Each structure stands twice: as structure tokens, then as C-alpha cells.
Amino acid sequence: MTASAPSSAAQGAGRWADGGGEMGELILLVILAGVQFTHILDFMIVMPLGPQLMRLWQIRPYEFALLFSAYTFTAAAAALLCSLYIDRFDRRKALLALYGGFALSTLLCALAPSYGWLLTARAAAGAFGGVAGAAVYSILGDLIPETRRGRAMGVLMTAFPVSAVVGVPLGLFLANHFGWRAPFVLVFALSLLVLFGASRLVPPLHAHVEKARLRNAWQLLQSVFADANHRQALAFMAVLVFGGFSVIPFIAPYMVSTVRLRESDLTYLYFFGGLATVFTSRLIGRLTDRHGKRKMFTIVALVSIVPLLITTNLRPVPVWIAIAASVLFMVFVSGRFVPAMAIVTAAAQPGVRGGFMSVSSAVQQLASALASLASGVIIGRGADGSMTRYWLVGLISIACVLLCIRLARRIETRG
């Protein structure tokens, strides 16, 4: 399929956009952002709960990293498996089935009586949630024209800061007052609301199914990996995620053990950092449409080196300095993903976009799992309980930033 010959899926997307108008497009984005919000909140909530869980079950940094990475390892495996078949189904039906499984798995997290049970439930939540996240980007890629995709990505990516502004502080409040299970109950309840909205408002998307069913599963996988542009995009995203998640999971434990903040202070870090990113994500999205995906990625990625250095070398400071460092980190480190996801989504051949985005999700999840495990091995504990060698993790993350800038220049935009 060539870029000059639009697929039936693209034609159907155009008819939907014309019929739905700007308001219809916004409603769709809100629903998709709701899926991402709950998925990301479920993923993120373990990080600020780290100090509580490590104290409750007397687990070491490596065991906490395993709890975090179990989610992403199973998400990677499930996304890779689903990439073989997901384009054979209506994208709406696939999203609803996967997201329903995610909601149920999150409820099992809330019911976990032990570390082992929670580890298993987190693995199940990752398997469903990771593929549901990939389905979201496939739907967006089918329905939103390339000329507005940066703005759409900006709206979708606000799911991350909103979860930090509203979800994580609220989850921490519930955890401090009702126990660590309460945040998972919150995510389950929100997921049921979003599932209902998605079932009513996400349109059917099945124009791609007929051609996908003519290929067997391995032909689909070959069509994803045989394309050099696909491989470049996957490598780019793997390096970007590895660099980010080598640092991110250990921010909360580092702030408590080394910067000497109270666990209650973590709420302010996530609140103000996320609040700033609510505005900057959409701004970066608009600037991406105006100035180009690669240019904006390069600028934001280079600036992100500064908060990476600050965060991984911070020593005991007043809480307002830690908050300022958190704001810079969230704005620029998470901000890189707005133009990055626009680059990756545009790199896919339209006929295999679902499979490609599932493979991309698998690559991202695997990269984040390996990053957290690697950091868990590198980071040590001092005699006073502080975390050591976090600065080395920061340097690894910066090296990944520089490599990503080089990789982004090689990725072509497809129809």
C-alpha cells in the first residue's frame, strides 16, 4: 500500500471526522484519554506507593523493581502476541475487550493479600492495559488526520499529567487514610465509567479487517519488521523509554530516602509537576504541528537533560526546591513523548497500523521493564538508608536522549 493510495480505513476515518466535526473529534479524544488516564494511573500509582510497600513487606529495591516491571513485562508479551491478530478485529471491539480485562485485573490488585498475589495481579493488569493503550493509538491514527495529529497527541498525552495532578495525589491521600488498597479501588471504579463511555461513543473501525484476515499472523509480523522505517521507529521508542524509565520508578523512593522528604510531601511533587504538564503537553502538541515533529522532539529532548541531571543528583533540600525539580522533570521528560508518539504513529503503514502499534507497545513495555530492573541492580543502599549510584542512572538516561535525537532524524512519515 502506498502513501498516495489511502486505505478504506483512512476514507472511513475521513467520513467520521466530517460527520463528527471538531466537537465529535474532541469527545473521541476525551474518551481515549480516559482509557490512557486510568491505564497510566494504574501504572504510576505503584511508584509513590513504593515507600509504603517496601516498608510493609520489607522488600528490597530489586524486589520493588520486580513489582514495577512485572506490569511492563507482561504488557510487552501480550502486546507482541496481540500484534499478530489485533488487525483482524474491529478496533472498537478489541479496545472494549482489553479494557474490560484491565479493569478486572485492577480489582484483583486491590484484593491482594500478599506481595506474591499483588505481583501476579500487576502482571495481569499489565497484559490487558498495555495492549489497550496500543489500541488507543491505533484508533487515533485511523481517525485523526496527519495535519491535526500533533494536537491530538497533545490532548491524549495530558492523561499522564492529569493522573499526576489528580489521580496520584488522590491515590496517596486514600492510601494514607484507608490503606494501600484504596488507590486500586479508585482506578477500578474510574475504569468502569470510562468503559461505559467507550462502549457508547467510540465508533466501529473495521475497514482494515478484510485485508488483515487475508494475511496469516506471521505474514503480518513480517510486514511490520520487514519495513526498515518500522524498525527505526521501534528502536527510537525503545531507547527513549529505556532512558526515561531507568530514572522514573525510583524518584519517589529517592526523594524520601535521600532528599529526606516526608512521604506526604510526594503529593505536592506529583501535583505541581503534573499541573504544569497539563498545560505544557498541549502547548508542545500545538508547536509540534506548527514546527514539525522532529524539530520539537530535538528541542524538548535536549532541554530534558537539565532536569535529569538535577533529579538524579539532588541532596537534602527544602521541599520547594524538590517541587521545582519535579516540575522541570515532568514538563520536559514527559513532554518528549508528545512529538515522539507523533513521529512513531506517522511511521506506520496504514494497513498494518494496529499490528505495528501493538509491537511498538510491546517494545516500550519491554524497554521500561528492563530499564527498571537494570536501575534496581545499579542503585544501592547506604548505611543511613539513602539510595546510592542514582547519578549513574541519570547519566545512562542522558546517553539515551542523545541517541534518540539521532534516531529520530532517520524516521520517515507514512500516509
CA neighbor of 73 nearest in space, from 364, 366, 374, 359: 366
How far out from the chain centre does Cα 230 lie? 19
Predicted local distance difference test score (pLDDT) of residue 9: 42
pLDDT of residue 135: 80
Q: Is 388 helix (H, G, I), strand (E, B) or coil?
A: strand
Has residue 159 got a pLDDT over 70? Answer: yes
pLDDT at 2 over 70: no
Cα–Cα distance between 227 and 356 in angstroms, integer? Answer: 10
Q: Please report which confidence band the pLDDT of residue 380 belongs to, taking 50, 70 and 90 as the band edges.
A: confident
3-state secondary structure of 261: coil
Handedness of CA 18, 131, 327, 395 (dihedral sign): negative
Vertex 254, ends 237 and 318: CA angle to 5°? 120
Cβ 53 vs Cβ 112: under 8 Å: no
Q: What is the pLDDT of residues 81-139, one digit of tens each?
A: 776 666 667 778 888 989 999 999 999 999 988 888 889 999 999 889 878 877 887 77
Rounded Cα–Cα distance for residues 99 and 39 (Å): 9
Cα–Cα distance, 164 to 145 (Å, whole number) = 29
Is it the case that residue 252 has pLDDT exceeding 90? no
- In whole angstroms, give the CA distance from residue 335 to residue 276: 11
C-alpha span between 13 and 74 (Å, rounded): 31
Helix ranges, 91-114 (H): 91-110
In one letter, which amino acid is 132?
A: A
Please say if the pLDDT value at position 178 is more than 90: no
CA–CA gap between residue 333 and residue 304 (Å, rounded): 5
Q: 268-285: per-residue pLDDT in tens?
A: 888 888 888 878 888 898
**Does residue 340 surpass a pLDDT of 90?**
yes
What sign has the CA pseudo-torsion 71, 185, 61, 372?
positive
